[in-house]
A and B are shown apart, each in its own frame.
Chain A
């Protein structure tokens, strides 16, 4: 049986991000806001007057952020895949249980006819 589900026993659909952009913004937003989708296009304007030293530092920060994002995204993707696998398995069991319930009821009904 699924660990969680609705009243009919159908497991809840995994809570995944709506799309890749939502996922990217959510994860990157925790790491480096500059690199989120709404912000990344404004970098040239935002840092137009920075010194070469600051530029180098910022690039290093971005490099680290991208590495961190990639690391985290792989972890999230693994979790998503596992959630989906597990959902599929639970859902399958759920509908089998559902069908079995009706079959059982049908059998009991047939048995009752014989025993009558």
Chain B
């Protein structure tokens, strides 16, 4: 089952977000269909009364869309009727009743079109509209008002232009768009001649439109279409055609007749991209030169911070571009769906009129055009996201470079870590610049934020009425089963709380909420199932105590030897990017415990590079520099078979293949991906090729069947998983704070696993290779198909 995602704010409870493939998703707010059921559990899962304004906004938006669509359809029907009545009126000009009917209907149509455009006061005379009332105007009216302002004419002088626009057919629009593009591609000195030729053969409506535009350009009172003046005006007009055609195309876009033109935006995007590239090149060149020839650290830092600020600005720009492209995409999708629906209705109609056949052909053309526009918009979204990812990665590189700066002017050679052979730059040891520096103040600040996340307890909501009834009649001893409160039952001697979390029933030992199990939504609540899942919750807890992988026996990823740190993240995704950002501090925390090194390319954006190849490359680089122990931090969405990085994937078996490719290397992997990114199942199959016991240790934060959730601090500035937050706390502080007992990494994991359950129903586990023997798995209850249940 894929859990519904929703923003669940239980008073101070912070945001949780899903780490399954596809990323965080809002509840499906697709147009409601009549056959939808509203009494089922599904609806209950997606309603969050604590976040009522956001919930209702979806409903209001849906209602707006629905009502608007209906008004648009009414206006369309009416426009067709007016066209028919007009045709009759033209055929029978001597019939005053038909002229009157036409007049009335045209007036009504105007009202309907304004209503369909969402205008508040549809009957307001146009003359009364002034520039300062633009905010009240429909987009079309605004566009006309803008063009009037630019041309220095009164809005009422645009009547002919409006009329010309209203008559444009899809073919005319195609012609216009092509004309605009082709015009721009002509040599400047030949444009006018070229245009004059093209206009001779242009469709009548296009000629009329351009004539109307030409007349507007003429000074008030000046007749533009008489004798020699006409030629002069046309010449003048053609000179201004470039500017005019731009305005007309913008106008048509505002009227919704064509997709908004992207020519200018594209060129802006190209400029932005070039700007990004230049910033990346400048920054990397500077980092490289300052690593090879270190100068004054303070100056270097200042320069790097300057690059960092620039990267922030580029990110903000790129995010704006993405937002705009997404808005465009949404609008195109709406238009496309409508065009398809209309086409389908016409396709299915057995005896179509000539007019309907024409409409059908128009719709087919529109659909093609819209689909092409959609591809463009999607491309723009992708490109924008890539820019965000590249800039985020650049920021990471800058942060790493700043962190690597010595507090004093560096010496030629770093002193070797205690007990280690002196690392040489010539391939025998890692460069000094790679050393990750722990910054106690920064780490402490970060730890406070992590503690905020760590201290958030899992909140369960009351069960639905039907679930309460099911429990009431199940035969178990009910301690409390009040409406609006979590239910408490007795199984054996223990009291158990049963409530809802993210829409699924959850059973938890009342006296210790870390003993918990999620009950799948398709399991009926009865005495047997309640007892079964209570037993499973106990089993999970016991199995963790068994600790087959020996985490509680002092597991450490490294001792004094240098350990390489690789961060493999999906920086194309906002959520995993945020978590990756937090991990910058995590690496500093690790550096307080271990002799940690990270290359300047140690943050891999798997959405830009092939994750497996990039990982290989990084491992190779670290090994060449004498580092054979590597910690890999994976921040990605996940499925039951792999980890997702935007368009790329790292399958679980690809990762284990890499472990085999580097038999001399020791690996520790921390993976936040939902479903463990498939690593649990893969690690069960994985047998090391004779390596030493414990060569590979893989931590997953959830089971195969379970999604992971991200949580944020109250101010939403910091995002982490409950496990990562707890792990950070225990690694940094041990128990009883920093002065208290220091924990091994393995012990910290066990505490984090236990604590994470208090915050969310996930269950971390660890797999550790045992040479030629099967991999050991902490919390393995002996039945690989049901280990730790949660199924």
Q: Which bucket holds chain B's interface residue count? A: 35 or more
Could you say which residues of chain B place their CB within 8 Å of the CB of A28? Answer: 56
Given A10-B81, A23-B67, A92-B80, A40 contacting B53 (CB threshold 8 A): yes
Could you say which residues of chain A place their CB within 8 Å of the CB of B108? Answer: 13
Chain A residue at smallest Cβ distance from B92: A102
State the CA gap A74–B32 with chains docked (Å): 6
State the CA gap A92–B61 with chains docked (Å): 31
Within 8 A of B (CB), among A19-64: 19-24, 28, 35, 37, 40-41, 43, 53, 56-60, 62-63
Question: By the criterion CB–CB under 8 Å, are A66 and B98 in contact?
Answer: no
Question: By the criterion CB–CB under 8 Å, are A60 and B66 in contact?
Answer: no
B352 lies within 8 A of chain A by Cβ: no
Could you say which residues of chain B place their CB within 8 Å of the CB of A98? Answer: 84-85, 88, 98, 101
Could you say which residues of chain A place their CB within 8 Å of the CB of B189? Answer: none
Question: By the criterion CB–CB under 8 Å, are A69 and B59 in contact?
Answer: yes
Question: By the criterion CB–CB under 8 Å, are B77 and A91 in contact?
Answer: yes
B56-94 interface bits toward A, Cβ cutoff 8 Å, 1 = contact, 0 = none: 100111111111101101100110110011011001100
A95, chain B: closest CB distance, angstroms = 4
Could you say which residues of chain B place their CB within 8 Å of the CB of A94? Answer: 81
Could you say which residues of chain B place their CB within 8 Å of the CB of A91? Answer: 77-78, 80-81
Could you say which residues of chain A place their CB within 8 Å of the CB of B43? Answer: 67, 70
Within 8 A of B (CB), among A61-116: 62-63, 66-67, 69-71, 73-75, 77-78, 80-81, 83-84, 87-88, 91-92, 94-96, 98-99, 102, 106
Stretch among B44-52, B238-246, B310-318, B442-450 lining the A interface: B44-52
Chain A residue at smallest Cβ distance from B85: A95
Question: By the criterion CB–CB under 8 Å, are B77 and A10 in contact?
Answer: no
Question: By the criterion CB–CB under 8 Å, are A40 and B52 in contact?
Answer: yes
A115, chain B: closest CB distance, angstroms = 22
Question: By the criterion CB–CB under 8 Å, are A19 and B88 in contact?
Answer: no
Q: Which of A10, A22, A75, A80 contacts B66 (CB 8 A)?
A: A80
Q: How many residues of A contact B (CB 8 A)?
A: 52
Could you say which residues of chain A place their CB within 8 Å of the CB of B68? Answer: 19-20
Given A69-B59, A70-B43, A84-B74, A17 contacting B101 (CB threshold 8 A): no
Question: By the criterion CB–CB under 8 Å, are A19 and B52 in contact?
Answer: no
Within 8 A of A (CB), among B651-708: none
Could you say which residues of chain B place their CB within 8 Å of the CB of A99? Answer: 84, 87-88
Given A66-B55, A95-B81, A56 contacting B462 (CB threshold 8 A): yes
Question: By the criterion CB–CB under 8 Å, are A80 and B95 in contact?
Answer: no
Could you say which residues of chain A place their CB within 8 Å of the CB of B104? Answer: 8
Given A16-B70, A20-B65, A98-B101, A35 contacting B34 (CB threshold 8 A): no
Question: By the criterion CB–CB under 8 Å, are B63 and A67 in contact?
Answer: no
A112, chain B: closest CB distance, angstroms = 16
Q: Which of A17, A35, A83 contacts B56 (CB 8 A)?
A: A35
Chain A residue at smallest Cβ distance from B345: A85
State the CA gap A21–B56 with chains docked (Å): 11
State the CA gap A8–B39 with chains docked (Å): 46
Could you say which residues of chain A place their CB within 8 Å of the CB of B462? Answer: 56, 60
Question: By the criterion CB–CB under 8 Å, are A56 and B484 in contact?
Answer: yes
B118 lies within 8 A of chain A by Cβ: yes
Question: By the criterion CB–CB under 8 Å, are B44 and A63 in contact?
Answer: yes
State the CA gap A22–B70 with chains docked (Å): 14
Chain B residue at smallest Cβ distance from A58: B49
State the CA gap A88–B342 with chains docked (Å): 13
State the CA gap A73–B62 with chains docked (Å): 10
Could you say which residues of chain B place their CB within 8 Å of the CB of A75? Answer: 34
Question: By the criterion CB–CB under 8 Å, are B484 and A80 in contact?
Answer: no
Q: Which of A20, A41, A102 contacts B67 (CB 8 A)?
A: A20
State the CA gap A19–B71 with chains docked (Å): 9
State the CA gap A86–B92 with chains docked (Å): 29
Could you say which residues of chain B place their CB within 8 Å of the CB of A41? Answer: 53
Could you say which residues of chain A place their CB within 8 Å of the CB of B84? Answer: 95-96, 98-99
B112 lies within 8 A of chain A by Cβ: yes
Question: By the criterion CB–CB under 8 Å, are B38 and A74 in contact?
Answer: yes
Question: By the criterion CB–CB under 8 Å, are A24 and B59 in contact?
Answer: yes
B485 lies within 8 A of chain A by Cβ: yes
Question: By the criterion CB–CB under 8 Å, are B47 and A66 in contact?
Answer: yes
Could you say which residues of chain B place their CB within 8 Å of the CB of A96? Answer: 84
State the CA gap A22–B77 with chains docked (Å): 23
Question: By the criterion CB–CB under 8 Å, are B101 and A8 in contact?
Answer: yes
Question: By the criterion CB–CB under 8 Å, are B484 and A53 in contact?
Answer: yes
B363-399 interface bits toward A, Cβ cutoff 8 Å, 1 = contact, 0 = none: 0000000000000000000000000000000000000
B784, chain A: closest CB distance, angstroms = 40
Within 8 A of A (CB), among B23-41: 32-34, 36, 38-39
30 contacts between A and B (CB under 8 A): A10-B105, A16-B67, A17-B67, A18-B115, A19-B67, A19-B68, A20-B62, A20-B66, A24-B56, A24-B60, A24-B63, A35-B56, A40-B52, A53-B484, A53-B485, A66-B55, A67-B43, A67-B44, A67-B47, A69-B59, A70-B43, A73-B62, A74-B36, A74-B38, A77-B34, A77-B66, A84-B74, A98-B88, A102-B92, A106-B92
Taking Cβ atoms with an 8 Å cutoff, the residues of B that contact A are 32-34, 36, 38-39, 43-44, 47, 49-50, 52-53, 55-56, 59-68, 70-71, 73-74, 77-78, 80-81, 84-85, 87-88, 91-92, 95, 98, 101, 104-105, 108, 112, 115, 118, 462, 483-485
Pairs A-B, 4 closest by C-beta atoms: A20-B64, A20-B63, A88-B77, A62-B49
Taking Cβ atoms with an 8 Å cutoff, the residues of A that contact B are 8, 10, 13-14, 16-24, 28, 35, 37, 40-41, 43, 53, 56-60, 62-63, 66-67, 69-71, 73-75, 77-78, 80-81, 83-84, 87-88, 91-92, 94-96, 98-99, 102, 106
